[in-house]
Structure 1
Amino acid sequence: MHSNPKVTVAIPVYNTEPYVAKCLNSVFNQDYNNIEILITYDISSDNSLQTTIDVLKNSTFPYRIIEKKEEDKGLGKARNIIIDNFQGDYLFFLDCDDYIEPLTISLLVKEAIANDADVVGASHRSVDENGNIITLFQYDRKRIFDNVMLRHYIYVENGYYSVYAWNKLYKSSFLKENNIRCIHNIIDDAAFSFSVIKNNNKIVLLPEITLNYLIRSSSITNAVMYKDVSIATANNFLDIRDFIYSSNMGKNDLITNCSNLDAFVFSYISTVRNSYKSVSIPYQDKIKLCKSAFITPEIPLTNFFKVLKSKKTSLMLLLAVKVLPFRINMLLVKLYHKIKRV
């Protein structure tokens, strides 16, 4: 890899007219000079496209805009279109309502080249619309992992790893040779990140905060995770679990057992917390979803106590779901929601 590789900063744009200028200006302000900007645009109800075009006129970097068809709507499809069309040696995803610090790209490129890394991820903060810091999501120190070390750190040691696709620099050859893509239109980060974790040769994680993640009430994440959920979205939670189960099939080591347990807990909690309270899903469908979410992975006796040591609470949940009758499990779900309303 040469010393000044091209970096594609890819920004899916959809219904973010008030925020896209700040996002784009944060890219213009980078101290790294070999950047291309790739925009994918979903048909929006506001003036996002024209605002984006107007702001891009001030760019010193080359840029392209791909206007998506109606049938290609969704963030997952936007990211797949980006993967199919970006021209850089590296790819950096940036959501159109977030913004990055001026040294972001140069820092990530420097670490990628120095360590011959497939992926370099940095830390981020969540902020409100006034720029006030809400929460820091920060790695405690610089860490360099090979594949086995990273998977052990995440799944067995329960180490912090940001599941989001953004705020990471991906080597182009790594993404394309491993055919790493999103599998859903929405809720795309978990499966995408699992594929990255599974296939990488080396990942670098940095404590420097490079991205500001905007928390706004109208965001896709809030709409999906904290408000109403459709049955299609609910099924995505289960699809992600099954995707991970399928990818881990045939392996029975400690790391894989812990990975499967994490996937089970993710789909269980997503269904119990979000799908069950949804007003869009009929009650009988909620019951079907819960039955599907209660399908547990097998933990062999040879690894049982090692998994117990690593993931005591998760394993206790698995045993409760596995041992207790479905009727009792549903009573516990109802009790959970009753307590949450108090």
Structure 2
Amino acid sequence: MSAPPKISVLLPVYKVEPYIEECLDSLLSQTSTDFEIIAVDDSSPDRSGEMTLRILEEQNRIRWQFIKNPVNKGLAETRRIAALAARGDYVLCVDSDDHVHHDLVRRVIEEAETHHADVVIFAAENISPEGKINYRVEAGDAIMSGVEAVEKILDLSMQAYCFNKLVRRSIFLAIEHPSGLIYEDICVSVQTLGKSNVVRLMPDTLYSYMYRESGISTRFNPKIVDIFAIMDRVERSTASMPIRNYRKLLFRLKYVYGYRTIAFQAATKAPTYRLAKPILDSVAERLRLTHLFGMYSDHRSKLSFVMAMLKIHPWLFYCFVRRFGR
């Protein structure tokens, strides 16, 4: 048997028929070949799985495995299934409707080996279907401990995406993967960073995250309330970490980000108030005056004011947000 590759790319495949060819082309044309692709067809109802298998079979430059889930497992569980089949020292999560820089693998291997890093975080960009860059996901340029990286996520100064993080496979397999929940990346990233000793932040933009009209952030999804469960899991996994100003930082992620995201997504994306109301009610029930004061004291007076409307009555909040947006 040949020596294991340095990196295993975890590639869940589900309903990406228009995009999978470009994604695979970006992986198969990498400047380094020291990686493998673990593609998992998560019982996709379209031809995504068939196309993936055909494209992989037609080349012999990059090692690969193809797995088909007999039933749909969801993103988190499918990534875990891919990681269990992987052989690389590190894993890299790639979403199959995105594409990566042609030098991604070589660059992250170089950074991981140079700094003996457990995690390498790189910059990414969000791109529209027309090719316009909507915004950048910055990574910075630093070396830090895993706990310090967790602090940055709690502080909302670092994004918790999985797609821009190379992670040691043993760490990735040692954490909980929240099956069936959306926004699972937050939970996964916090756990992997919390178990890491050395984290390398590199400024290079190596990943293109595509804006899709059907994406999680562009459509109404009642499962947005999964964030409540995600935040509870994050709190459990970080409670024992030696995090400075822990309560303050956790407040930012849980309430400033979590509660705000649920409420604003429901108000802006739901086609009617009737659909938004149960979700807004669930936030209002959990929202306390101490949370509003906490937002205000954290220099977020506008957010405190708008969330106070939600506490008074969801309809008031709904109308204000629909009228004035962000």
Amino acid corresponding to residue 70 of structure 1 in structure 2: V
Unmatched segments (≥5 aa) in structure 2: none
Give yes or no for contact 2:263–2:283 (8 Å, CA) kept in 1. yes
Q: Which residue of 1 aligns with 2:62?
A: 61
Q: Which residue of 2 aligns with 1:47?
A: 47
Match of 1:255 among 246, 249, 273: 246
Give yes or no for contact 1:260–1:297 (8 Å, CA) kept in 2. no
Q: Structure 2 vs 1, CA of residues 49 and 287 (structure 1 numbering), >3 Å: closer, same or farther? A: closer
Q: Structure 2 vs 1, CA of residues 23 and 318 (structure 1 numbering), >3 Å: closer, same or farther? A: same
Instruction: Using the TM superposition, give the Cα deviation of residue 109 of structure 1 relative to its aligned residue in structure 2, in angstroms.
Output: 0.9
Q: Which residue of 2 aligns with 1:149?
A: 148
Residues 1:225 and 2:217 aligned together:
yes
Instruction: Using the TM superposition, give the Cα deviation of residue 318 of structure 1 relative to its aligned residue in structure 2, in angstroms.
Output: 6.3
Q: Which residue of 1 aligns with 2:210?
A: 214
Mapped to 2, the partners of 1:296 and 1:126 lie a distance apart of 36
Give yes or no for contact 1:245–1:260 (8 Å, CA) kept in 2. no
Q: Which secondary structure state, in structure 2, belongs to the residue aligned with residue 80 of structure 1? A: helix
Q: Which residue of 2 aligns with 1:313?
A: 300
Give yes or no for contact 2:182–2:227 (8 Å, CA) kept in 1. no
Q: Which secondary structure state, in structure 2, belongs to the residue aligned with residue 95 of structure 1? A: coil
State, as a whole percentage, how many aligned pairs show the same letter.
Answer: 21
Give yes or no for contact 1:261–1:297 (8 Å, CA) kept in 2. no
Q: Structure 2 vs 1, CA of residues 216 and 130 (structure 1 numbering), >3 Å: closer, same or farther? A: same
Give yes or no for contact 1:241–1:266 (8 Å, CA) kept in 2. no
Amino acid corresponding to residue 263 of structure 1 in structure 2: K
Mapped to 1, the partners of 2:289 and 2:231 lie a distance apart of 10
Mapped to 1, the partners of 2:266 and 2:218 lie a distance apart of 10
Mapped to 1, the partners of 2:147 and 2:166 lie a distance apart of 20
User: How many residues are aligned here?
Assistant: 320
Q: Which residue of 1 aligns with 2:323?
A: 339
Please list the CA deviations of residues 121-176 of structure 1 after superposition, one character each: whole Å capped at 9, or x if unmatched. Answer: 11112223343433232334x211113433444445x53x2321012211112223
Q: Which secondary structure state, in structure 2, belongs to the residue aligned with residue 273 of structure 1? A: helix
Residues 1:239 and 2:234 aligned together:
no
Instruction: Using the TM superposition, give the Cα deviation of residue 188 of structure 1 relative to its aligned residue in structure 2, in angstroms.
Output: 1.6
Mapped to 1, the partners of 2:126 and 2:205 lie a distance apart of 10
Q: Structure 2 vs 1, CA of residues 249 and 155 (structure 1 numbering), >3 Å: closer, same or farther? A: closer
Give yes or no for contact 2:121–2:139 (8 Å, CA) kept in 1. no
Q: Structure 2 vs 1, CA of residues 83 and 294 (structure 1 numbering), >3 Å: closer, same or farther? A: farther
Q: Which secondary structure state, in structure 2, belongs to the residue aligned with residue 8 of structure 1? A: strand
Mapping of residues 1-342 of structure 1, within 5 Å: 5-56=5-56, 57-72=58-73, 74-140=74-140, 142-156=141-155, 158-159=156-157, 161-176=158-173, 178-218=174-214, 222=215, 224-230=216-222, 233-249=223-239, 254-276=245-267, 278-279=270-271, 282=275, 285-286=278-279, 288-294=281-287, 308=297, 311-313=298-300, 328=312, 330=314, 332-340=316-324
Mapped to 2, the partners of 1:173 and 1:297 lie a distance apart of 40
| Aligned-CA RMSD value | 3.4
Instruction: Using the TM superposition, give the Cα deviation of residue 248 of structure 1 relative to its aligned residue in structure 2, in angstroms.
Output: 3.9
Please list the CA deviations of residues 48-68 of structure 1 after superposition, one character each: whole Å capped at 9, or x if unmatched. Answer: 122112211224122111111
Amino acid corresponding to residue 263 of structure 2 in structure 1: V
